[in-house]
Amino acid sequence: MVPVLALLALVVSWGRELPIVVVIIVAVLLAGAVLAAVHHAEVIAHRVGEPFGSLVLAVAVTVIEVALIVSLMISGGEKSASLARDTVFAAVMITCNGIVGLSLLSGSLRRKVAVFNAEGTGGALATVATLSTLSLALPTFTTSAAGPAFSTAQLGFAAVVSLLLYGLFVLTQTVRHRDYFLPVATGSGTVTTGSGDVPQEEHAPRPSGRTAMASLGLLLVALVAVVGLAKVESPVIETAVNTAGLPQAVVGVVIALLVLLPETIAAVRAAKRDQVQISLNLALGSAMASIGLTIPTIAVASFWLDGPLVLGLGATHLVLMGLTFVVTTLTVVPGRATVLQSGVHLVLFAAFLFLAISP
């Protein structure tokens, strides 16, 4: 019932100024819709298996996130020119540092060493790094357009390349090298860790096709409610940000945090079940989908959007992004990680949040 109630609240509250009591109720339903989305995503993942399960959640959330970004840019005017950049960059930092750090922490605390497939995770990281650099770093240095922005031709090139790379990754993940993205296991049904082989936890019976289809429908309802209610709450967020004297980029960070809550909870729960690979699939897949689907959509939307489209990152964000990819590469290469690696990622995530508030 929670996704349905959240969707009804979205219909009732959309486009209206809300009193504080209603804002609190909407926030509670937003949290409930996030938890419901995670539950139904896990039901679907259990039915279709990995890596399709994590792909379903990542793509579903990102598609609706893109719709939210475009709608906010259309209604926000010139002050939203950098909203797409801020939200996509926040998604990359949240996934590559926040979700990865929490997942590695959960996995390493349980089994001392979190184990994953270096081949698949490394390929995903390389794709995320390439998409991020082409879409968020290059506009800062190109000269065809004024400011940290692409020219029309450059934006079109970035959009096509983003779609091609994302499509190639999905083909690799689901068809040609699917085994690279499955949890690391031995033939005896055990997970290999630094402390030896340990038995896999018993799973619940595989859900029926009817149950999976019902969960798919409720997942979509929950995700629409999550992103829609996040938009309903956005005026309150903007007012709070302005009242506190914080930078406008904080709005994009808060929106990304809200939208990525389902992936965060699902990734941590997977890591607690010794399935760190699924956690990394969710984290890097979400970052990749966020860029690979947002940039092409923004490129098309730019034909009717007024004002400039700012995509290039500033110096501070470029340093953070570069350091994130270097550290994540060092984390991924061995195929196993400890509490130390999780701490490094979480410190980088904290630095991102702090510098967003105090640039």
The arithmetic mean of pLDDT across residues 198-202, rounded, is: 43
Checking if the pLDDT of 106 tops 90, the result is yes
Q: Which residue has the tokens 């240095």?
A: 141
The whole-number pLDDT of residue 262 equals: 78
Q: Which residue has the tokens 């947002």?
A: 294
Checking if the pLDDT of 195 tops 50, the result is no
CB 61 within 8 A of CB 286: yes
- How far apart CA 327 and CA 341 sit, in angstroms, is 9
Residue 199, phi then psi, degrees to nearest 5: -65, 145
Q: How confident is the model at residue 130 (pLDDT cuts 50, 70, 90)?
A: very high
The whole-number pLDDT of residue 191 equals: 47
At 154-186, the pLDDT tens digits run 989 999 999 899 889 988 888 888 888 888 763
- Answer whether the bond into residue 262 is a cis peptide, omega within 30°: no
CATH, residue 201: 1.20.1420.30
Domain that holds residue 277: 2-357
Q: How confident is the model at residue 84 (pLDDT cuts 50, 70, 90)?
A: confident
The pTM (predicted TM-score) of the whole model is 0.80
Other beta carbons within 10 Å of 265:
20
Checking if the pLDDT of 341 tops 90, the result is yes
- How far apart CA 258 and CA 2 sit, in angstroms, is 17
Other beta carbons within 10 Å of 24:
11
Cβ contacts of residue 33 below 8 Å, gap of 6+?
Answer: 2, 3, 6, 222, 223, 225, 226, 229
CB 237 within 8 A of CB 251: yes
Q: How confident is the model at residue 303 (pLDDT cuts 50, 70, 90)?
A: confident
At 59-82, the pLDDT tens digits run 777 776 777 677 666 666 566 677
Checking if the pLDDT of 26 tops 50, the result is yes
CB 87 within 8 A of CB 135: no
- Mean pLDDT score across all residues of the chain: 82
The arithmetic mean of pLDDT across residues 229-258, rounded, is: 78
- Report the domain count for the chain: 1
At 108-128, the pLDDT tens digits run 988 889 999 999 999 999 999
Q: Kind and range of the H or E element at 63?
A: helix 52-76
At 202-234, the pLDDT tens digits run 456 777 888 888 888 888 888 888 778 877 877
Give the SS3 label for residue 41: helix
More confident residue, 98 or 183: 98
CB 258 within 8 A of CB 230: yes
